[in-house]
């Protein structure tokens, strides 16, 4: 194996993937803003994936045989605010890199989302019709199609994950942890359920999936589902906070942009490919705590370019 290219290398998934992948192979990060301390973050290339000229030939230039494409405008609000920029990065750049990987004979893994569904039913399979209700979800649906058209060997991973991030403010786990650590009470949505998984478990599953002959769409997520309220209470207990400080609230009373209520994903296809399930959503909290104790948040701060 000649290595991995990880786009979005300064984001939550990208930075964690680079740390984990580099324990065994060469892994090159790609980002528009490269961290200053190259010794601390390893090999990086500066590239603006929103620019067709800038991203041209990226896979060939880095000389890798695996591409993990995590870069995206990944918030519902960000996509609603600038749909043109979101389309260029989330759709066109994804199609372009998938085609580059196919031309170079490199494995291509595209990160999609549970937001391709409207969240009315839950327990979605890969073959269920998509039904996005946000600009972010609509862009990912289009990107999935274009990626697989450009690269039939690609893996499209629909995900929902949490973990420590370079900024310390990016994930559901950090949302609860930061507020509880400050001594404040915090609200958790009782009306939103997700199959969220710890980012380290996600990276391991993606690496294992890439080592098979799998192609197409996979739900790479926890085999169960949990409300954000229950997740927050479980996190509080895991880290020694009082779970009673997590208060039940409704997302519809807090959020302006619409989100799906029940976005639980079925993972039968992933189980068939890997021969196992990923840990349950709240079981990953033990790994979140272990990585905190081992200094993962401090290591990730080196990837923060702000």
* Whether residue 229 lies in the annotated active site: no
What gap in Å lies between CA 138 and CA 97, rounded to an integer?
19
Query: Going edge to edge, which strands form the sheet with 193-194?
Result: 226-227, 193-194, 262-263
Hunting for tokens 């090999």 — which residue is that? 43
How far is C-alpha 17 from the chain's CA centre? 10
Nearest residue to 37 via CA among 295, 296, 300, 291: 300
Q: Specify whether the CB–CB gap between 173 and 179 falls below 8 A.
A: no
What gap in Å lies between CA 189 and CA 143, rounded to an integer?
29
Residue in 87, 102, 124, 136 annotated catalytic: 136
DSSP 23: T
Which amino acids are annotated catalytic? 136
């Amino acid at each position: 194996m000649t290595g991995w290219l990880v786009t979005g290398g300064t984001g939550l998934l990208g930075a964690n993937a680079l740390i984990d992948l580099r324990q065994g192979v060469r892994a090159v990060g790609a980002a528009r803003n490269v961290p200053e301390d190259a010794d601390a973050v390893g090999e990086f290339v500066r590239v603006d994936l929103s620019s067709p000229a800038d991203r041209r030939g990226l896979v060939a230039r880095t000389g890798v045989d695996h591409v993990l494409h995590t870069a995206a405008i990944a918030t519902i609000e960000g996509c609603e605010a600038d749909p043109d920029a979101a389309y260029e990065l989330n759709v066109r750049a994804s199609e372009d890199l998938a085609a580059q990987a196919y031309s170079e004979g490199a494995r291509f893994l595209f990160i999609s989302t549970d937001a391709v569904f409207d969240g009315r039913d839950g327990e979605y399979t890969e073959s269920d019709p998509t039904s996005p209700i946000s600009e972010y979800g609509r862009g990912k649906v289009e990107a999935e199609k274009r990626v697989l058209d450009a690269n039939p060997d690609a893996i499209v991973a629909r995900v929902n994950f949490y973990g420590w991030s370079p900024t310390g403010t990016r994930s559901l786990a950090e949302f609860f942890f930061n507020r509880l650590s400050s001594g404040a009470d915090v609200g958790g949505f009782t009306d939103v359920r997700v199959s969220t998984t710890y980012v380290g478990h996600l990276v391991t599953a993606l690496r294992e999936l890439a080592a098979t002959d799998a192609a197409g769409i996979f739900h790479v997520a926890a085999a169960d589902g949990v409300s954000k309220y229950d997740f927050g209470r479980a996190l509080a207990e895991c880290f020694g906070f009082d779970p009673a400080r997590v208060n039940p609230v409704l997302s519809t009373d807090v959020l302006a942009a619409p989100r799906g209520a029940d976005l639980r994903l079925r993972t039968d296809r992933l189980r068939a490919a890997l021969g196992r399930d990923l840990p349950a959503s709240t079981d990953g909290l033990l790994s979140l705590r272990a990585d905190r104790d081992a200094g993962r948040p401090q290591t990730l701060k080196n990837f923060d370019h702000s």
